[in-house]
Amino acid sequence: MSFSRKNPINTNAWLKLSAHFEQLKAVHLQEMFSQNSLRESQMSVSWENFFVDFSKNRWTSETIQLFQELASELNLKESIALYFKENNLNFTEDRAVLHTALRSAEKTVVFGGKNIVEDINAVKHKIKLFTESVIAGAKKGCTGKAFTDVVNIGIGGSDLGPKLVCNALKYYKNHLNTHYISNIDGDELQETLQKINPETTLFVIVSKSFTTSETLQNANTIKNWFVSQLSEQALEQHFIAVSANPDKAVAFGMPNEAVFPMWDWVGGRFSLWSAVGVSIALGVGYDNYDKLLLGAQKADESFKNNDLKENVPVLMAFLSVWYSNFFKTTNEAVIPYSYYLEDFVPYLEQGFMESNGKSVDRNGEEVAYNTGSVVFGGVGSNAQHAFMQLFHQGTNLIPTDFIGFCNSLHGNSAHQDVLISNMFAQANALAFGTRGKEIENPYKVFKGNSPSTTFLIKKLTPETLGSLIAIYEHKIFVQGILLNINSFDQFGVELGKELSREYINSLENESNGYSALMQFYKENN
């Protein structure tokens, strides 16, 4: 069985949803709650350490039922089952999508006639032995000093995922300081180099192809800096690589044993579960890294087995399609009320916009409906003093996910009470505004009826973080199935790369055909 290629707007369920929307579009959330005192409990899902409140969304049980019908017409359940097996999901690049196998409890996952679990476990074992030796100080640098710093060099998924996790779990960190270099901006690179001692620094070069231009330029600059400080011979004691192209990594100057393999069936933006996560295991310890994988595995099992009407990522995807295609929204916001999750939104920006920012469907035809939305956000309560004015009184409808935790990691319950009260208040204010109150000043009127979903999680741990990330991954997948697009290619990234090479060549060759912009740059460079 293959994935459906049916145009969603040609389904019976889509027609029913369109009629249903006409009946519901003017109904205020306050009316929905007034008509059903049990709405919050009936439209929430409790799972493991999560409580997810979907009640402040502009939908009803009928909406959910109609989306289940749409999912049935588009073979969503069958697609979910295929997602965890050998598949052709990324058919445009002739690649399977099997990053879920990296955290699976299954003893057998077959790809290409081979049980890939054996290879996965071998790499995990290698990561465990290596990271534990570095953390314990058994593996040292070229001058006999223990490592104090780790610098991860990568871009996109080779940076955003590991950086998110390391920073989110800094409460659990050990003595190693982790740094992330992604941008080709030489100033950023230099600022990092000024913070570290080459004698006590381990460098991790992460590139699936080992041809990524930004990563290689940064890696070569760092390599030259390192050799100037120490020696060429010291490279193999301070540099490791994560790549699906080990020959190129070895050519860079690393021995075979310093290369951690990854596979073609792991997409970059879903790769933190692979050896790309070696900096995570270094920064917070292998045991915590393993708990991260366990949390994702639990989310996978829930996604595979739960009924659609109680399946958190499925309901999230239903909402995104509902808002973007019927309410015609173009943005979604994610606001975590935790300082530790400040890198979560940039991670999701890549995940959603690179995955579902498509305009051609699985049949190679241009779509006539909305696909991916712009995802943005920031940490609460800072966001309240930045962009939420627009949410409350602007003209754009922006569905929002709030994410909060019941417990402060450092035990400051007084601050946590205030923090989470602010989160609850924002969701309430967006939903109900000042409706029903007599407000004489028109500038202080809040119409409400702005939708949100609230995630309340018991505590930020490696396990709950793994679950949270996996839930959003699965939402991406479900959206792709419902919208009949390939969520796993990213050809849109390539054009800018190709054009940048032309500009670089032009600058290097002193071309006479400079544009006005380039001419100004050359004159002032």
Catalytic residues: 354, 385, 497
Instruction: Quickly tell me which residue has 């120490």 as its tokens.
Output: 230
Q: How far apart are CA 300 and CA 101, in angstroms?
A: 10
Partnered with residue 152 across adjacent β-strands are 180, 204
Contacts of 275 (CB under 8 A, 6+ apart): 123, 126, 127, 242, 260, 261, 262
Q: What is the SS3 assignment for 333?
A: strand
| Residue whose C-alpha is closest to residue 164's, from 242, 277, 260 | 277
Burial of 338 (0-12, 13-18, 19+ CB in 10 A): buried
Instruction: Quickly tell me which residue has 């049949």 as its tokens.
Output: 363
Q: What is the SS3 assignment for 491?
A: helix
With residue 71 as reference, give the H or E element that holds it. Answer: helix 61-73
Contacts of 507 (CB under 8 A, 6+ apart): 518, 521, 522
Q: How far apart are CA 457 and CA 467, in angstroms?
A: 11
Contact 82, 3 (CB under 8 A): yes
Sign of the four-CA dihedral 268, 269, 273, 279:
positive
Q: How far apart are CA 318 and CA 417, in angstroms?
A: 32
Contact 82, 478 (CB under 8 A): no
Q: How far apart are CA 2 and CA 137, in angstroms?
A: 50
Partnered with residue 111 across adjacent β-strands are 114
Instruction: Quickly tell me which residue has 């916009």 as its tokens.
Output: 353
Residue 14: both structure tokens together: 């889509």
| Residue whose C-alpha is closest to residue 120's, from 267, 242, 255, 261 | 261
Biggest alpha carbon distance in the chain?
Answer: 77
Rg (CA), the chain: 24
